[in-house]
Chain A
Amino acid sequence: MSLSSAGGTRSPSAPSSAAGISAAAPAARALRGAARWHWAEYVFWAVPVAAYFLFPENLVLLSQIAITALFALSLDLILGYAGIISLGHAAFFGLGAYVAGLMSVHGWGDPLAGLAGAALVTALGGLVTSFLVLRGADLTRLMVTLGVAMMLYEAANKLTAITGGVDGLQGVSFTPILGLFGFDLYGRTAYLYSVAVLFALFWLARRLVHSPFGLSLRGIRQNVVRMPAIGAPVHARLVAIYTLGAAYAGVAGALLTQTTQFVSLDVLAFNRSAELLLIVVLGGTGSLYGALLGTVVFMVAHHLLSDINPNYWQFWLGALLVVIVLFARDGVMGGVRRLNRVIARRKGGKA
């Protein structure tokens, strides 16, 4: 795949254009360059590869991070880009987890088919519920997403014949990926598989947010009243991104099922939705990378703090969240941006 071509071709402005247009040229160049890959992004994606070699003992945790990162990405798409707040995003994560699990239990254990099935079903779920969710303002959305997730949780709890209820779904197993890479005891395949899926879907999302469609989502978030006045069908755009966000969450859920060979009720739990919202806000919304960084910070902090203080670790996690939200607006990604600006100014000063 040719990532560098994402910026498009740079064409000189038409010779007939007025002198004023050339004054706008730097802005146009910036817009054209916005989709190009920054060197820091290559570094960022080298980290999960390096982690594979550096922490071979921790691949299970690292897989969880990759899966949660994908889940966070799905929420960032709808919250960070379109401004739809959700407290029940685990509904789609859990639905995807069960779909992949049930497919394997009923004899369709191919992992990629499982991902596709989960994506399809959760996309449908997102499409149907979007008409409820998009009806109201923020508070309504919070309640509706929460309500839908609660209903799904209790449905899974009650339908023991299908889901196994509180005991979880038993007998989940998967065939090797592409018929070549079997899941091993050390979680090597699971980790590489999770990271590969995360990267592929991140890459798609990255293309999407830099496209005219992505720009229109930012427009909706920034001024929902203006968008219809420039001819944009706001509702249809929101339905589309909500559906896509649901599918992403579903794939994340399916990945969890496939890498742990088990589905328990907690894939649908409220806690998962709430944590996800924390992660995305912690990392900073509307940049994709914020969701990824937020996941890493949250999961690593969670891991380390619960090692130090197994009983009261949530206290420190809570404290960390309060500090970050209060003092570092726009989360971790906001901090990175400010740092970047300071460095740029220093450089400019020296030159």
Chain B
Amino acid sequence: MFFSALSASKAVFGMTVALETRGLVKKFGGFVAASDVAIRVAEGARHALIGPNGAGKTTLVDLLTGFLEPSAGEVILKGENVTHLAQHQRVRRGLVRTFQINRLFADMTVLESVTLAVCERRGLGWRWWRPVGAFTEALDEAGEILAMLHLSDVAHERTRNLAYGRQRLIEIGLALAARPRVLLLDEPAAGVPAGQSRALFETIARLPREVTILLIEHDMDLVFRFAERISVLVGGALLTEDVPEVIARDARVREVYLGEAAGG
């Protein structure tokens, strides 16, 4: 049994598993927000997690990243059990998230914010003698991230002065600065005007394949355009997981999710 569990974690359809949960449970008092969730995200995957409101999608992200402590179960990152590691330790190992609602540094300039994140990844966070500006490589790297996200022209602006859609890009920029190996995007287009969400997804689509992406998204069009594999979460439990074409035809999924979306 030990052997089978080991080999299962190593490969799904011949691919390496980047992120995996085993029997993940989260209870808030009597309410079960995650019930025995076993999910596997392959290395380099473009994997989406969908489900109706209240299905426990964000709770799952919180459990994966260590924002919440699970009531039971394990989180495995690249074969390592990270269930009891603190959030920042998981980030150091390459498990990085964005937030559904912006969590930014409102009074920093855009460049300062991203430089802060770059400094943390480079292990400069304890350096207290030399000024930030003397760490030229960190500054340059932050500049490159801003250029990639088309934020260079607002690099000197305070974050709070930007429109929400552009703030959303900083949210992604902060995650990229941590050099994710597995990136959890929690509804990256939430609150972004329709015209800009396409551009935002093009940016995400351009990320290199070394970055495994788990996308949590409400917008079905975006999910079916982006994802190569989809997991459906309902009432805290995993309903099914498959390629988009199969998910689209699945009657149960239509009933609990697509039906609801079409009806509402």
Contact = CB atoms under 8 A, between A and B. Distances in A.
Interface of A: 6-9, 11, 13-14, 17-28, 30-35, 207-208, 210-216, 218-219, 222-223, 225-234, 237, 240
6 contacts: A7-B131, A20-B147, A21-B144, A21-B152, A212-B135, A215-B132
B52 interface: no
B103 interface: yes
Contact of A216 (B111, B116, B136): B116
Interface in B107-151: 107-112, 115-117, 119-121, 124-136, 138-140, 143-144, 146-148, 150
Given A212-B127, A215-B132, A24 B152 contact: yes
Interface of B: 65-67, 86-88, 91-92, 96-97, 99, 103-112, 115-117, 119-121, 124-136, 138-140, 143-144, 146-148, 150, 152-153, 155-156, 174-175, 177-178
A21 B143 contact: yes
A13 B91 CA distance: 29
A232 B92 CA distance: 9
A207 B132 CA distance: 10
Please indicate which of the listed interface residues A28, A32, A34, A212 has the most CB atoms of chain B within 10 Å of its own CB: A212
A278 to B, nearest CB: 23
Contacts of B97: 229
Contacts of B128: 207-208, 211-214
Contact of B153 (A23, A34, A211, A231): A23
B125 A232 contact: yes
A234 B67 CA distance: 13
B152 A219 contact: no
Given A11-B136, A27-B110, A231-B121, A215 B116 contact: yes
Given A212-B127, A219-B105, A226-B105, A33 B92 contact: no
Given A208-B128, A215-B119, A230-B174, A24 B105 contact: no
A26 B139 CA distance: 12
Nearest to A207: B129
Contact of B106 (A8, A27, A223): A223
Contacts of A208: 128-129
Contacts of B96: 229
Please indicate which of the listed interface residues A14, A211, A222 has the most CB atoms of chain B within 10 Å of its own CB: A211
Contacts of B110: 27
Decide if the interface of chain A is mainly helix, strand, loop or mixed. Answer: helix
B140 A14 contact: yes
B131 A24 contact: no
A229 B103 contact: yes
Given A27-B110, A211-B128, A212-B127, A229 B87 contact: yes
B133 A33 contact: yes
Please indicate which of the listed interface residues A22, A34, A227, A240 has the most CB atoms of chain B within 10 Å of its own CB: A227
A42 to B, nearest CB: 18
B108 to A, nearest CB: 7
Nearest to B147: A20
Contacts of A6: 131
Contact of A223 (B91, B104, B126, B177): B104
Contacts of A17: 140, 143-144, 147
A226 B88 CA distance: 10
Contacts of B86: 228, 233
A176 B93 CA distance: 55
B121 A215 contact: no
B134 A9 contact: yes
Contacts of B143: 13, 17, 20-21, 24-25, 28
A26 B109 CA distance: 12
A210 B116 contact: no
